Chains A and B, each alone.
Chain A
Amino acid sequence: TQLLEQSPQFLSIQEGENLTVYCNSSSVFSSLQWYRQEPGEGPVLLVTVVTGGEVKKLKRLTFQFGDARKDSSLHITAAQPGDTGLYLCAGVYDSWGKLQFGAGTQVVVTP
């Protein structure tokens, strides 16, 4: 069974600071997605990356997919309290396979 490792497990920062969350695997992803989950809700998709080296931006969030498609990162610029949540990476190793989730990074942004 392939494993997705996310780091760090927990991040607490002040409003206005930057942060980066990492997602790594020993195997090559077919595609990778990032989700954010807030208390009492299910995860909500932020982005899907498919091509090695791909960079996608969503307002203050920047997502990178490693050239070898084994790792990804999420960078938040000038974090705001509304960015607080559990950030989950999820990868698929074959086209029709199951989506496997990392353990998540809990991000807390205080005013």
Chain B
Amino acid sequence: KAGVTQTPRYLIKTRGQQVTLSCSPISGHRSVSWYQQTPGQGLQFLFEYFSETQRNKGNFPGRFSGRQFSNSRSEMNVSTLELGDSALYLCASSSGQTWGSGANVLTFGAGSRLTVL
């Protein structure tokens, strides 16, 4: 089955602009999580959406937002871009089951690499 698809793969923006990233999860998966990966901070959790509702949220400013559509596709938006927002943004989909069952598995996309100039 098709994996997690993220678009675009690469993009360059300037400070103050905004950006929208898209993620198409594995068919049947209802949970989509977003992570920011930088060399200094590693993988930082942004938010998770499950059945169109934000279920978990990380410690990022309000400039970072997301949403999920009825077909489970998700978008994240970053407004008023800053230089420090340059990163690899990873999306992961899963069935959304409880972690304690051991059955919840994140499948990651290849990421969207954002460069802010």
**A residues less than 8 Å from B110 (CB atoms):** 40-42
> How far does the Cβ of A95 sit from chain B's closest Cβ, in whole Å?
4
A101 touching B42 in the complex, CB below 8 Å, given contacts A30-B100, A31-B102: yes
**B residues less than 8 Å from A44 (CB atoms):** 108
Would B33 and A99 count as touching, CB distance under 8 A? yes
CA distance A92 to B100 in the complex (A): 9
Q: 1/0 per position for A27-66, CB-CB distance to B under 8 A?
A: 0001101000000111111001110000000000000000
Tally of contact residues, B, Cβ under 8 A: 27
Q: What's the A-B contact tally at a CB cutoff of 8 Å?
A: 67
Would A96 and B45 count as touching, CB distance under 8 A? no
Within 8 A of A (CB), among B83-117: 90, 92, 98-102, 105-111
**B residues less than 8 Å from A41 (CB atoms):** 108, 110-111
Would A101 and B35 count as touching, CB distance under 8 A? yes
CA distance A104 to B56 in the complex (A): 23
The interface size bin for chain A is: 20 to 34
Would A48 and B42 count as touching, CB distance under 8 A? no
Interface residues in chain B, defined as those with a beta carbon under 8 Å from any beta carbon in chain A? 4, 33, 35, 41-45, 48, 55-56, 58-59, 90, 92, 98-102, 105-111
Interface residues in chain A, defined as those with a beta carbon under 8 Å from any beta carbon in chain B? 1, 30-31, 33, 40-45, 48-50, 88, 90, 92, 94-104
